Copies of this chain bind each other. A is one copy, B any other.
Amino acid sequence: MNAKQHIKSVTIIGAGNVAHNFGLAFRQAGYLITEIYSRTRNSAMLLSQTLNCDFTTNLAELSDETDIFIIAVNDDVIEDVIAQIPHKNKPIIHTSGSAPIEVFNGKGFKRYGIFYPVQSFSKHDTESLTPIPICVEANNVETENLFLSFASSVSSKVYSLDSKKRKTLHVAAVFANNFSNHMFHIADSILGEDNISFEIIRPLIEKTADKIKMDKPVNAQTGPAVRRDNKVIQSHLDYLEKEPSYRDIYNLITQDILKSQKEKN
């Protein structure tokens, strides 16, 4: 089945990072963007200008001249938004890593599901969806086929993943993306205290991401914990005395590296 035979136009509910990237990617792939919704007038207007389409701040007034609704709003308002969308005969998807498929229960839609892009988008640096994995789930096989085909029209890495596995993936993504980025922030903050430029560790950060292209992270690990260099570990803990939260993080992660190396052997 070719999704483009069924889906020619899309409405995007939301005007944040995901909405921006999806809007541009779907337009690029030849879809008509019918309309943008955001509760914030300015955000809706800005994205609609970028995409050259209509916008609304009122879910009840959404046009029915669309082939699918794509929800890209914060997790805590997804259910509320779904409930307010009219045109229950249209397919509808949300894009959250966390919200289970059950958020559509009792809202009146017949074809619904999830389109979870495994990426950390930014508004200001939109990108092609082609290399980005998209995880698809739907309420029945026919709808899943429609959504898989729709996803394949913008991404070359489409996976079928149920809500349970999507949650696993989302937890993993928080570690891989948000928490690793926080490690970069702590490094930046520690260097800043001593007026050392963050530039000095950029090549190291690039290498860290590069190394695991060829190996599992547990095998690529280096540093005092892997070397069981207790003298260095203790001197780092002493150094971090002045910043107790960094000290606690250093200690906990070091213990866990020691544990994971033991399990590896």
Contact = CB atoms under 8 A, between A and B. Distances in A.
Interface residues of A, number: 93
Nearest to A224: B174
A204 B118 contact: yes
Contacts of A46: none
Nearest to A185: B217
A175 to B, nearest CB: 4
A119 B207 contact: yes
Main secondary structure of the interface of A (DSSP, over half): helix
Given A183-B183, A245-B256, A190 B205 contact: no
B118 A201 contact: yes
A177 B98 contact: no
B171 A175 contact: no
Given A207-B119, A231-B76, A256-B245, A173 B187 contact: yes
A212 interface: yes
A167 B232 CA distance: 10
B259 A221 contact: no
A132 interface: yes
Nearest to A195: B165
Nearest to A197: B159
Interface in A196-251: 196, 198, 200-209, 211-214, 216-218, 220-227, 229, 231-232, 235-236, 239-240, 245-246, 248-250
A94 to B, nearest CB: 13
Contact of A175 (B176, B187, B206, B255): B187
A168 interface: yes
25 contacts: A74-B227, A75-B229, A118-B201, A118-B204, A119-B207, A120-B211, A120-B223, A135-B200, A157-B200, A169-B191, A172-B186, A172-B191, A175-B186, A176-B183, A176-B187, A176-B204, A179-B186, A179-B253, A180-B208, A181-B212, A182-B260, A188-B218, A208-B209, A248-B252, A252-B252
